[in-house]
Amino acid sequence: MEDKIKRLSEIIEKSNSVVLFTGAGISVPSGIPDFRSAKGLYNSGETKYGVSPEEAISHTFYKYRTEEFFEFYKENLVFQNAKPNIAHKYFAELEKQGKLKAVVTQNIDGLHEKAGSRNVFNIHGNIYVNYCEDCNEQYGLDFVMKSEGVPTCEKCGGIVRPKVTLYEEALDNQVYYGAIDAIQKADTLIVVGTSLVVQPAASMVKYYFNGENLVLINLQETPYDNVADLVINEKIEKVVEKLENLAKQKN
């Protein structure tokens, strides 16, 4: 493991354009569960609404059972008090140094931005961005969380929904193609905390990265382990701790 951490440190040091691609695993140390793990939300069986968790956060459920959608969403997908952990902060610092060019994340928790990252492509949206479906008035997360039942616009009375991609909905084209552009320009792609099975996010790694170093940091195996240049099966917070210790030794 130590040799792999040293190699990762060397890869980062020699790279000119690093892009970080993250999934739920990077936010687990912040107290946000990995929904796709064995004990995660998506494997918890039928919800109290008589549908699966995936169905409860689908466009259909949102459209036809809107109040129940918001109840489920607020109880299961929003972790308002979560704070950035050592990994979020480490990669935000790499961006400040000019080494990391972009973060592409499947997460909706906003923790990369809270840590200080600026060039973030939230391909599944962000819980902190909410808008009226009718007049597009913008609202923060507090407005949604404090609303009773279905949040409604103070200007026109329309439904205020999170700018989060639900099942059955397409990704935001501008964000998606911005992320692809960043991945295509990277000489190193570091993938953290994702099984790389969710589409179309996984295909972004497969089809658009043509750089020198593909690094996978995940507790479990992924379908891309055999093509990666470096695979580290360790908790991301442990990896970052060792990277920071190495940096201190060099200084």
130, HSE (Cβ side, Cα atoms, 13 Å): 21
SS (H, E, C) 1-39: CHHHHHHHHHHHHHCCCEEEEECHHHCHHHCCCCCCCCC
Task: Name the DSSP letter for residue 112.
Answer: H
**Angle between helices 236-250 and 86-96 in degrees, nearest 10:** 50
Q: Looking at this protein, which amino acid is placed at residue 95?
A: E
- CA-nearest of 240, 243, 247, 245 to 26 is 240
Longest Cα separation, the chain: 59
Active site residue 124: yes
Distance CA 21, CA 48 (A): 33
Kindly name the residue from 59, 88, 112, 124 that is annotated as catalytic. 124
Please, which residues bridge with residue 21 across strands? Answer: 104, 191
Q: Are 137 and 153 in contact (CB under 8 A)?
A: yes
81, HSE (Cβ side, Cα atoms, 13 Å): 2
Q: Are 218 and 193 in contact (CB under 8 A)?
A: yes
Residues acting as catalytic residues: 124
